[in-house]
Structure 1
Amino acid sequence: MERNMELEPGRNKRGIVVLVPLPLQGHMTPMLQLGTILYSKGFTIVVAHSEFRPPNPSNHPEFIFQLLSDNLSGYDACFMNLLNLISDINAKCRAPFEEYIVRLMQDQRLQHGNEVACIIYDGLLHFVDSVATCLKITSIVLRPSPAIYMLS
């Protein structure tokens, strides 16, 4: 799943945007759609994702996919376990995510102005904000909830 960071000449003028989606359909799809828009604007897109229900890299060959080892690949995601799943992802993905972002920031190819522009993450994945804050990277929350959810 992990693809080497191969920056296309001229593609990376605006920097790298790291997307961190929650691995559920209604959360993953809007995040990947946002990635497509940002890619069309000249950003390099990295999708850092859980082992649980990973996205299919062949659907977005223009993106770089980074697997965050969390031992959740066989997790049973019935409704009753949904809160446990979110809690486990938050607990188990923090360290691998932080290690990856540090490696990404230190990569020599990023010394040519191709730095991490920001991290966009699902609002339920609070571990991302703590990593971004610690590393002084701008972060943006994407809340893919339907409008009716906000009213309730």
Structure 2
Amino acid sequence: MGFDDVDDVKNGVLLFEPLHQAFDQLQIGFIYDQSSNKYRLKVFDPSVRPQRLFGTLDRLQREVLLRGQPLPKHWRKGGRPTFAPGTDFNLQTTFGNIDGQKLCFMSVERPYKSCLNFQARVARKKAIEEKWIQPHEADFEDWSEGMLLAERMGF
């Protein structure tokens, strides 16, 4: 893969909007786990851990998820799961709840490991700079191809 291929549609990852926003803001990343051959979500920013995914959606996004159904009355109360009507999505789910969960793909197509690896490395670097984590924490193997890590981090 060359730099010209980075924006190729085949290299995209379609994420639920709260995950998309956190991914773009380098608050989370997806780290490749060789033992399971899966990508796992890593929360780098501890301030998002208690945030409910549903709570970060705007009005229109909530309507789409709820499919026009009313919001359950006591969805904000903790305790037992509260599901969006007609779905298996728990409205209580927080970023902390999904930390370490695998990234599921709907087809055999996968993004380039090097791109997800690079984003996770940049997110980890930001986490160290912001003092969200210590330099020895949350390190992972470099699964990218091509340039050396030091070259990419300087790019």
TM-score (norm 2): 0.26
Q: Write 1 or 2 for the structure with the bigger share of strand.
A: 1
Q: Write 1 or 2 for the structure with the bigger share of helix.
A: 1
| Larger radius of gyration between Structure 1 and Structure 2 | 2
TM-score (norm 1): 0.26
